[in-house]
Amino acid sequence: MKKHISIILLIIFSFSSVYSQTILTLDSCINLTIKNHPLAKQKSDYKKLNKLKTDNLKSNYLPTLSFNAKATYQSETFSLEIDMPPGMNLNLPTTPLDQYSIYLEAKQVLWDGGITKTLKETEAQNLLALNKRNDIELFKLQEQTENVFFSILFFSESEKQLNVVRNDLISRRKSISSAIKNGILTPDNYDIIDAEILKIEQKIDGIKESRKATIVILSELTSINFTDSLILIEPEFKTITSFEGTNNREELQLFDIQQQIITSNIKTINKKRMPQFYLFAQGGYGNPGLTMIKDEWGTYFIGGAMLSWNIWDKNNTKRTTKIMKINSEIIDTQTEIFNKNIIIAANKELAEINKLKKYIITDLKIIALRKNISKKAEIKLNNGTITSSEYISFLNEKNNAIIEYQIHKIQLLKAKRNYFRIINNSSFAL
């Protein structure tokens, strides 16, 4: 249900950027941060780059047409030496020492050994890697948004509690005023209550300013202009008892993609050792033409098929493949290290969660006792058996216990969120 609320809020936010009053969930804040961050726009650029690179690769199978011109000089040429009978002369043509040629050459790839196919596969995987790196950077924004969210939540709860204290003191001031008139309390008790009310109001003003400043930060993160009337819904999380062992982090997916890229690169390297077949055609004008023994300019045309096969590459393929396999082993090690760090971080948060749960149980007991003590102190104040200063001391102890409980409660929510973010198992999805 909460997930549906987040989606509805996100749709509403798409039509406006300024809100007089807004109700937000944690997931909707994160989604707004991700949706409106400049990083999110890079994916469209990556897609455009991928299309251009893929189109370039597809053009490998299109015919090519090139213009060529050359001029050469050679020290000797082909000639015929025939012994003729005496008295007979035979002028045989000779190939010129200087030769010239201008021609167009068309070439069509029939099969390139499968290189283009593997390069397209690699390019597709490169796009996945770029998008995944983008997701990882966007994922880092979660913690920043969560910190701001919980800070605003704490300021809101603290302001509520201080207002309760303020109203309580105002109520006590009325009863003290009556007690002073009846001679039960001295006039200085009224001033003590007044000073404490001003002190509480000062704290309220400080919290309001802190909350306002934090809302500005949230507005900057989400690119949405929120007002001071912003209302945040306290998140709820399922019960956590032990490490679930699930880890869906984007980094692990990136490691998998990198391994796939290495596999594709190895395939490409091996494909380069395969024979390649072409059709070609040349049409030109030169001296000599196709008849090499004629020293004259003429047009010519040549067409046919060609095989190209690199049969020896000085073991470059073997060494490059070894490099790729070592890189694969490095990625395996990085994956193992990352998994270990995730397990450590998750268990650390679990310990924090268990600690805060115990704190909250104790907090509630303390609050119950402090409320009881504060209530008895209120009766004593009304009877004139204690002063306003003593009453305020008891009241502050109760309020401090409540605030401590609020701190622990929000810390618990934050610890739970940290845990689910660490294993990337939450209602939020990139």
Tens of pLDDT along 28-38?
Answer: 999 999 999 99
Bridge partners (DSSP) of residue 104 are 67, 283
Residue 385 banded pLDDT, cuts 50, 70, 90: confident
Q: What is the mean pLDDT of residues 89-101?
A: 78
Helix locations, 20-90, DSSP H: 26-36, 42-58
Q: Quick check: 67 pLDDT over 50?
A: yes
Residues present in the chain in total: 430
- Peptide bond just before 38 cis, omega within 30 deg: no
Burial 272-304 (b: 16+ CB within 10 A, else e): beeebebeeebebebebbeeeeebeeeeeeeee
Q: Supply the pLDDT for residue 87.
A: 61
Q: Quick check: 251 pLDDT over 90?
A: yes
* Two structure tokens written together for 398: 């109760």
Has residue 66 been placed in a domain? Answer: no
Bridge partners (DSSP) of residue 18 are 225
Q: What is the mean pLDDT of residues 268-294?
A: 89
Has residue 46 been placed in a domain? Answer: no
* Two structure tokens written together for 364: 């509630």
Count of the separate structural domains present in the chain = 1
Query: Which residues neighbour 46 within 8 Å (Cβ) at sequence distance 6 or greater?
Result: 127, 130, 131, 134
HSE at residue 246, side-chain half, CA atoms within 13 A, is: 9
CB-based contact 338:251 (threshold 8 Å): yes
* Two structure tokens written together for 23: 């109700």
Q: Supply the pLDDT for residue 239.
A: 75
Q: Supply the pLDDT for residue 12.
A: 45
User: pTM for this structure?
Assistant: 0.80
**Window from 106-110, 123-127, 332-336, 384-388 with minimum mean pLDDT:** 384-388
* Two structure tokens written together for 77: 């040429």
Has residue 32 been placed in a domain? Answer: yes
Work out the burial of residue 74: count CB atoms within 10 Å of its CB; fewer than 13 is exposed, 13-18 middle, 19 or more buried: exposed
Mean pLDDT of the residues in the chain = 87
Q: Supply the pLDDT for residue 19.
A: 43
Has residue 92 been placed in a domain? Answer: no
Q: Quick check: 15 pLDDT over 90?
A: no
Q: How far is CA 301 from the centre of its chain?
A: 58
Has residue 100 been placed in a domain? Answer: no
Q: What is the mean pLDDT of residues 375-402?
A: 89
- Residue 191 structural domain: 2-36+112-274+309-422
**Window from 9-13, 112-116, 216-220, 323-327 with minimum mean pLDDT:** 9-13
Q: Quick check: 81 pLDDT over 70?
A: no
Q: Supply the pLDDT for residue 46.
A: 94
Has residue 95 been placed in a domain? Answer: no
Helix (H, G, I), strand (E, B) or coil at 274: coil
% of the chain residues with pLDDT over 90: 61
CATH of the domain at 247: 1.20.1600.10
H or E element at residue 121: helix 115-181
Q: Quick check: 149 pLDDT over 60?
A: yes
**Window from 167-176, 191-200, 335-344, 406-415 with minimum mean pLDDT:** 167-176
Q: Supply the pLDDT for residue 183.
A: 79
More confident residue, 67 or 384: 67
Has residue 320 been placed in a domain? Answer: yes
**Window from 73-82, 109-118, 197-206, 410-419 with minimum mean pLDDT:** 73-82
Q: Quick check: 14 pLDDT over 50?
A: no
Has residue 102 been placed in a domain? Answer: no
Distance separating alpha carbons of residues 6 and 109, to the nearest angstrom: 54
Query: Which residues neighbour 263 within 8 Å (Cβ) at sequence distance 6 or greater?
Result: none
Q: Supply the pLDDT for residue 6.
A: 47
Q: Quick check: 17 pLDDT over 80?
A: no
H or E element at residue 304: strand 298-308
Residue 97 banded pLDDT, cuts 50, 70, 90: confident
Q: Supply the pLDDT for residue 172.
A: 84
Residue 20 banded pLDDT, cuts 50, 70, 90: very low
What count of other Cβ atoms lies within 10 Å of the Cβ of residue 48?
10
Q: Supply the pLDDT for residue 8.
A: 46
Q: Supply the pLDDT for residue 85.
A: 66
282-310 residue pLDDT tens:
999 998 888 877 788 889 999 999 998 88
Q: Quick check: 18 pLDDT over 50?
A: no
Q: Quick check: 21 pLDDT over 60?
A: no
Q: Supply the pLDDT for residue 84.
A: 60
Q: What is the mean pLDDT of residues 217-232?
A: 92
Q: Quick check: 13 pLDDT over 80?
A: no
Kind of pairing between the strands at 231-232 and 98-111: unpaired
